[in-house]
Structure 1
Amino acid sequence: MTEPGPVLCSRCGLARPSDEAPAVALAWASSRERGELRWLCPGCARQHVRDIEGKLPDEYW
């Protein structure tokens, strides 16, 4: 399923290139907050990994 419009990082605004290699595209992190799909570029995902881990339910640990 394709996204409507460009994928943008919700932190820094970086746009994911449509011709990006699949392995690099997999480094983007997505989350659904209040029904809205949000994306983080690889740099912002690395920078905020603790925040991302903090949102996981206890059964993941």
Structure 2
Amino acid sequence: MTTHVVCSRCGKQRPADEDPLRALSWVADRDSGELRWLCPGCARAHVRDIEGKLPNEYW
């Protein structure tokens, strides 16, 4: 079974045969029980938003 991974910001689709190291650069986020993905480009562009979701205990 192949899972299609699509960036929730730009709609880019991760190729099923993508290099495993590049596949690791995709970011998964669970919001209200829904799994969402960010491609590497969107993850870099929105890193401050991602860090803002971290609990205070992390810092």
TM over 0.5: yes
* Cα drift, residue 5 of structure 1: 3.6
**SS of residue matched to 2:15:** coil
* Cα distance in 1 for residues equivalent to 2:25 and 2:3: 19
Query: Please, which runs of 5 or more residues in structure 2 have no aligned partner?
Result: none
**SS of residue matched to 2:36:** strand
Are 2:54 and 1:56 equivalent residues in the alignment?
yes
Q: Which residues of 2 match residues 9-20 of structure 1 at below 5 A?
A: 9-20=7-18
Residue 34 of structure 1 corresponds to which residue in structure 2?
32
* Cα drift, residue 46 of structure 1: 0.1
Query: Please, which runs of 5 or more residues in structure 1 have no aligned partner?
Result: none
| Aligned-CA RMSD value | 1.3
* Cα drift, residue 15 of structure 1: 0.2
* Cα distance in 2 for residues equivalent to 1:59 and 1:5: 33
What TM-score comes out, normalization by structure 2 length? 0.93
Identity of aligned residues (%): 68
How many pairs are equivalent?
A: 59
